[in-house]
Homo-oligomer: A and B are copies of this chain.
Amino acid sequence: MKFLDFFRSLNPGSAATAKERLQIIIAHERRRVQTPNYLPLMQREILAVVRKYVPISEDQIKLNIDRRGELEVLELNISLTEPPLEP
């Protein structure tokens, strides 16, 4: 499972890599396959919510989808550009 690996990959000593990071994970367990899979649509809307708070371009987002039987895990890894330092 990749949860928090995104953050662990950070090099704390390097000022050049000083960025804000945001990880959103949505895991959905469907006990019946007949249940409609709303995850892709929901993920798009959730991303729209995130964009209201932080400006994100497409290349800042890494999307992973993992399916294991009844469990579907959707993972959004977002690297946010550091805002400029105030004088």
Q: Which A residues lie at the B interface, using CB under 8 A?
A: 1, 3-4, 6-7, 10, 18-31, 35, 38, 41-42, 45-46, 49-50, 52-54, 71, 82-83
Contacts and interface: CB of A to CB of B under 8 A. Distances in A.
One complex includes copies of this chain to the number of 2
Interface of A is mostly: mixed
Given A6-B27, A42-B52, 8 more contacts: A3-B27, A18-B31, A23-B25, A23-B26, A24-B26, A42-B50, A42-B53, A46-B49
Nearest to A6: B27
A3 to B, nearest CB: 4
Given A35-B20, A54-B38, A83-B35, A27 B49 contact: no
A26 to B, nearest CB: 5
B53 A49 contact: no
B24 A29 contact: no
